[in-house]
Amino acid sequence: MSAFGTGHVRIEGRDKVTGAARYSGDISADGLLRGWPVLATIPRGRITAIGTETVLPMPGVVAVLHHGNSPRLVAGAGWTDPDPNLQLLQDDRIPYAGWPVALVVAETFEQARAAAMSLPVEYEAQPWDVTFSAAHPGLYTPQEVNLHQPSEIAHGDLDAELAGSSVVLDQTYTTPEEHHNAMEPHAAMARWAAGRLDVVDSNQGAFAVAQDLATLFALDLSQVRVRSEHVGGAFGSKATTRPPAVLAAMAALVLHRPVRVVLTRRHMFSLVGYRPPTSQRIRLGADPDGSLRAYEHITATQTATTFEYVEPAGIVGKVMYAADALRIGHRVVRLDVPIPKWMRGPGEAPGSFALESAMDELAQMCGADPIALRIRNEPLLAPGSGRPFTSRNVIACYTEGARRFGWDARDPRPGLRREGRWLLGTGMAAATYPGETAPATAEATAEADGSVTVRITAADIGTGARTALTQIAAEALDLPPERIRMLIADSDFGPAILAGHSFGTASWGLAVVEACTALRARLDDRAERPFTVRVNTADQVRAGGRPERHAFGAQFAEVAVDTASGEVRVRRLLGVYAIGRVVNPLTVRSQLAGGMVWGLSMALHEEAVRDPASGGHLNANLAGYHYAANADVPTIEVDWVDDLDLANPTGIKGAGEIGIVGVAAAIANAVWHATGVRHRALPITPARVLSNPPGIVHA
């Protein structure tokens, strides 16, 4: 019997659509209080006064926590590095506009909000700088980029290869500051009972959050429990501990009552990370047929004064194309802004826009088909490391995508197809994302009724992970999925990697397979039930090393551009992927299509605008921050090719992030094909289209 690879509806789907599923902001408790964070209105300076006496007499107000009366927190908490965003209400310093300066706690949400909006806070402002520029004098070369990868990679003589190239491209591509706003805002409810901190939190990894809270409050890990059974989207914004959990726990400790903190959309624009703006210079040198001799990708971006996160846009070049000389570098400037952090496809999403746009331009310069050019530059080994790939089926994605999209019928010349005032064009781009595995703990219990209960600190952030893990367990145990009870998202179940970097299901799935296989081997020897088997895959993952394991894909887009209004409409999107073994076609298709929708939104809509005069955003809400709505989204086709890869015994590579990669470039390339105008800055808004009128062909 095999449940693996079969379409299954989500186990919790009915509960979600009927409202029975309870999210963190829904969880109540006796005596529950509500907290509302008050945010700084200047980007740099110090607090000189907080007028608590003004709001404490207001109806329902119980307390106002601030740096003068809050519990002292221990430094050092953070998943990969100490995170200063967690050192809340500890001093009078203001590092950016939107930094929490107080927490108003009241009996009701409305009372807390009213008091928070009335709380007087006085500041001593200091000179600030919130404006990113690739020419900023403060740019420097960091040692590392995201997840401790080297920021600089080079081999070969780049200058010599550029000098010897018949065709040279030298262009700069820019992406704006972008923000994730999941359907469910960040929320946490905390209570202290019998010396133990119990938190229900909206997050991507309950165990990591429990570790952070234990550090912050000087507790043993056994004294902290974090649960996140249902999460309404995350995209990286809930990957690590966020302010609601810390603030709720602080208030609950002081007031001896449970406290819930829920962020608003405006709160989320400064407190939960974002994708920073990038300026990416790409230089390609090639022979007349498009064979690459030189490839350089230098990214400039911003980070915060309090923490160095570097958006790794250049890392896409470590994987995609062969060149005799390679140079990848990153530059960063510290500004008085919130800390940027992970956002779906960190690095690859903005990096692929630049690289895949540049490859399209190179194909144009060489008179080559964009797909043929990419195939011509296929590497035998990973360009960045020189190691072999565990599998690399991107050519199959090109071939199948071209067949389904009708690419062979495309006239490569731009600006030829027209329907009335609409110019039509098609474009494509490649996609890649790592397919890694991390350690996890899983526990399987043979129950007296013949069913099996599996426990693992996985997180289902809308991806269908709970259902996929049930299918994986069912196959390992040779039982129907209905006989599996999958319990997830509870830090008491032991250490497990978070839902992020597309390694959640692969990592948890490996642990579930190991636990269920071990349980099954002992079933015949154990007459008494229940009994439990517990495994941890740390040694197994460590023994496997870090192979060059990546998912790949090809994105295809057709657009129509209105010559009168400048509007760009996407008519068709097709994505074909090589993502290893597919557990659940229904949920995987949903994940990939969702990523493609976000790529469309990135190409045409999303742009956070920061006001240099105030340091804050001009559009910190979902009215001013534009994103793709239903009317913007066309028919989307998603498929995948066979991709046998057993570097992970489950064969899973992950599909959570690759869907967004390359879509913006495919759309931008299609806009060029429609109009003859190359757009190297996102988003491609009507105003930008009209500033370079269609019909004027730009080299």
State the catalytic residues.
Answer: 657
Give the 3-state secondary structure of residue 415. coil
Rounded to 5 degrees, φ, ψ at 48 are -105, -25
Q: Which residues fall within 8 angstroms of residue 634, CB to CB, at 6 or more apart?
A: 569, 570, 571, 572, 573
What are the structure tokens assigned to 603, written together?
A: 């190409």
Contact 343, 235 (CB under 8 A): yes
What are the structure tokens assigned to 543, written together?
A: 């023994």
Report the alpha-carbon distance of residue 371 to residue 368 in Å, rounded: 8
Q: Which of 175, 551, 167 is nearest to 359 (CA)?
A: 167
The angle that helices 348-366 and 663-675 make with each other, rounded to 10 degrees, is 30
Q: What is the Cα 47 distance to its own chain's centre?
A: 33
Report the alpha-carbon distance of residue 153 to residue 146 in Å, rounded: 14
Residue type, 645: D
Which residue is associated with the tokens 């329907």?
419
Contact 342, 146 (CB under 8 A): yes
**R_g of the chain, CA atoms, integer Å:** 26
Which residue is associated with the tokens 């289209």?
689
- Exposure letters 643-661 (e unless 16+ CB within 10 A, then b): bebebbbbbbbbbbbbbbb
Helices (H) and strands (E) in the chain, counts: 16, 26
Q: Which residues fall within 8 angstroms of residue 160, CB to CB, at 6 or more apart?
A: 325
Which pairing describes strands 325-335 and 93-94: parallel, antiparallel, or unpaired? unpaired
Contact 360, 164 (CB under 8 A): no
What are the structure tokens assigned to 348, written together?
A: 């690859």
How does DSSP classify residue 214?
Answer: H
Contact 173, 680 (CB under 8 A): yes
What is the maximum span of the chain, computed from C-alpha positions, in angstroms? 80
Say how many C-beta atoms besides its own lie within 10 A of residue 609's C-beta.
12
How does DSSP classify residue 178?
Answer: B
What are the structure tokens assigned to 638, written together?
A: 């998603």
Residue 445 exposure: Cα atoms within 13 Å on the Cβ side: 14
Report the alpha-carbon distance of residue 66 to residue 57 in Å, rounded: 17
Report the alpha-carbon distance of residue 220 to residue 623 in Å, rounded: 44
